[in-house]
Structure 1
């Protein structure tokens, strides 16, 4: 984990939130020492994955992305789309949640959305794509939850647990460069597709609106660990969920844009204990 301790590498200052920062002070030597101690203290709790584990996750997502594209192309053929259209229909798997934020722990699942062009129906996703997954040797524990608030297919892909939701855009093709932050993506979508896209859109906005991503990630890892150890990390049970904790930490980062994680955690509790 790399932390910036010198003023020479401070970013050009700008407002990342709706108000001005509270403090622009750069970190000092004590902040660096405390942040390094924070990292060492968290390691025994399995909050960091090594490079091999991270590479495996990327490999699994690459395979899943190719599988989705293959399915979308095959579906186009079965629906008699012109060959020129089928060759470019695309499709893409987008991640969101803790993995997209870069704060997932060892063994954590991956939240993802399969974004498909307009010729693909939701019923296709829960039928033909479900069947395609069923025939993959690497896929285990496959199950569909169609009646959920956000309908989802849950499975384990080569040892990685994945929660995959679906969104059908009103586009003929889905390019690899598609930016889901663009509001035009939501045009003519049903509510289930909008909900499925919300995770990616919110996560991408959080990543874009924090001054220093590495400092944000380390502080959020610590806050999440603190919340889980105290049994207050669960929106299902009426507490704050992952995205809520991320938003609170992101806001703290906006108010102290040059602070390291150790300072951000201190300010986090100072601010929200008096909010």
Structure 2
């Protein structure tokens, strides 16, 4: 007879759960109800849209009324590990006569006119095409897949491999986002323990600045697969133990060895990611493979620097959990935030300025899609040993309030969006940008290099962003990209005092606004390897480049 978890492990698991509450790791009942209402409204809207499109395409009324259609949650919401104010990932499933072009035209226009939809934008050319929006205060990422079926009943099982045989690859990517989530849940031995562990690991990743698939770090899918693998290795353990085992397993993993839950059997001949053939970024990436065909790695954006940062954080997490389980520290120590703005001697500041808040929303995603390429370019610079991207995007104060100079605000800080309802022009008749988004990259030099030169890398980055802005035509008034290499002593020119002094470190900005904290906030930590870097005399600020797309 196998003994169950000890009382100590049960107590530590309860302590872990209670520790996560102040960080907004669990949503309120009212927010949960609103999510259910939003899903119901979207399901009805999509079914009505499919019916109307079927009629417009000349199908008989009885066929149009039975065409069906599904809205399927996946990702964190389907796994039931989403925190407060999190987005919902959804898959829209339609029959064969509804195409992706319909999704990005007629459905987009339908959503555009909906009174509860705001911040609507379409990313039709993305690796996984998506419509993003906020529906009744809930952020939504809506993917699309057209099945080779005349109708899509509610009872359809999307885990059926035969459904993807005649599907185009973009639809395969979309539908596999849902299928991967379902497969992960099917493979874990104890779903409750898996969810408790994943919730804690996600919070750790966000607090330690290693959570963002777009920018080359870990994300919901990669963390879910790694936690699921850990649960398979230790099927009888509670979340408090599994969190520690998660760090144990990854700290000892021999990358680039594949991390996968199971091997997948090929079922069709269309192109797919082959772990035995595709060796791009072989030695840089943490290759975490989805548990179904066609396999793909969820960390394709990872670079040498981002992997270095992730692995160092895993080692720090391992040390913390060892002490926690020995009762030398508390769980709050695992979720300490880092002092990014005091860690490095040099910082590369990226600034993207826009005319309107609408362009800023679209432009932020465009810029972030190109930042991983910049990090990889910096990794190839012989003067640089590490390029540490802070995954947070910071909004600036309105430029007209600070002499046109961007100044990063803490996350959650309110930024006026109606200061200049009319577009302002300069003496040359060009429209003046007033809204800016900012990103920061910490730079570590190779030993023996007193200086660093990044003009080439930043020029290529600006060119890529400008080219994408022109090609996609999503920005009505263009984008202004600026990059500056500064020393730490100059950061006060680009970072507001509250952010620079560390007031960002509260568990949850939204929770803080609502006074939901009942215990002292945890303090911050530095990585041991970086805490010894000292500031030097600031150098004169120098703009390396400015470019504009009109």
Q: Give the structure-1-normalised TM-score.
A: 0.89
The equivalent position to 1:270 in structure 2, one of 228, 248, 253, is: 248
The equivalent position to 2:190 in structure 1, one of 208, 212, 229, is: 212
Write the distance in 1 (CA, Å) between the matches of 2:192 and 2:161: 27
Write the distance in 2 (CA, Å) between the matches of 1:236 and 1:265: 25
Match of residue 77 from structure 1: 55
The equivalent position to 2:134 in structure 1, one of 153, 156, 159, is: 156
Q: How does 1:66-215 map to 2 (within 5 A)?
A: 66-215=44-193
Q: Give the structure-2-normalised TM-score.
A: 0.45
The count of corresponding residues between Structure 1 and Structure 2 is 253
Helix, strand or coil at the partner of 1:54: helix
Match of residue 12 from structure 1: none
Q: Quick check: 1:219–1:261 contact (8 Å CA) kept in 2? A: yes
CA displacement 1:211-237 (0-9 Å, x = unmatched): 111111110011111111111112223
Write the distance in 2 (CA, Å) between the matches of 1:26 and 1:264: 14
Write the distance in 2 (CA, Å) between the matches of 1:235 and 1:93: 24
The equivalent position to 2:14 in structure 1, one of 36, 41, 44, is: 36
Write the distance in 2 (CA, Å) between the matches of 1:261 and 1:26: 13
The equivalent position to 1:65 in structure 2, one of 37, 43, 49, is: 43
Helix, strand or coil at the partner of 1:120: coil
How many Å apart are 1:25 and its aligned residue? 4.9
Q: Quick check: 1:68–1:92 contact (8 Å CA) kept in 2? A: yes
Write the distance in 1 (CA, Å) between the matches of 2:215 and 2:58: 47
Using CA pairs under 8 Å that are at least 6 residues apart, name the structure with larger relative contact order, 1 or 2.
1
Helix, strand or coil at the partner of 1:163: strand
Match of residue 314 from structure 2: none
Write the distance in 2 (CA, Å) between the matches of 1:151 and 1:84: 31
Q: Quick check: 1:25–1:258 contact (8 Å CA) kept in 2? A: no
Write the distance in 1 (CA, Å) between the matches of 2:54 and 2:6: 58
Helix, strand or coil at the partner of 2:145: strand
Write the distance in 2 (CA, Å) between the matches of 1:111 and 1:95: 6
How many Å apart are 1:238 and its aligned residue? 2.2
Write the distance in 1 (CA, Å) between the matches of 2:57 and 2:124: 23
The equivalent position to 2:23 in structure 1, one of 39, 45, 55, is: 45
Helix, strand or coil at the partner of 2:140: strand
The equivalent position to 1:242 in structure 2, one of 220, 241, 265, is: 220
Q: How does 1:215-226 map to 2 (within 5 A)?
A: 215-226=193-204
Identify, as 1 or 2, the structure richer in helix.
1
- State the structure with more CA Rg: 2
How many Å apart are 1:84 and its aligned residue? 2.0
Write the distance in 2 (CA, Å) between the matches of 1:228 and 1:87: 45
Unaligned runs of 5+ in 2: 254-550
The equivalent position to 1:229 in structure 2, one of 187, 207, 221, is: 207
Write the distance in 1 (CA, Å) between the matches of 2:169 and 2:3: 44
Q: Which moved more, 1:210-219 or 1:237-246?
A: 237-246
CA displacement 1:13-37 (0-9 Å, x = unmatched): xxxxxxxxxxx65211111100010
User: Do structure 1's residue 26 and structure 2's residue 26 form an aligned pair?
Assistant: no
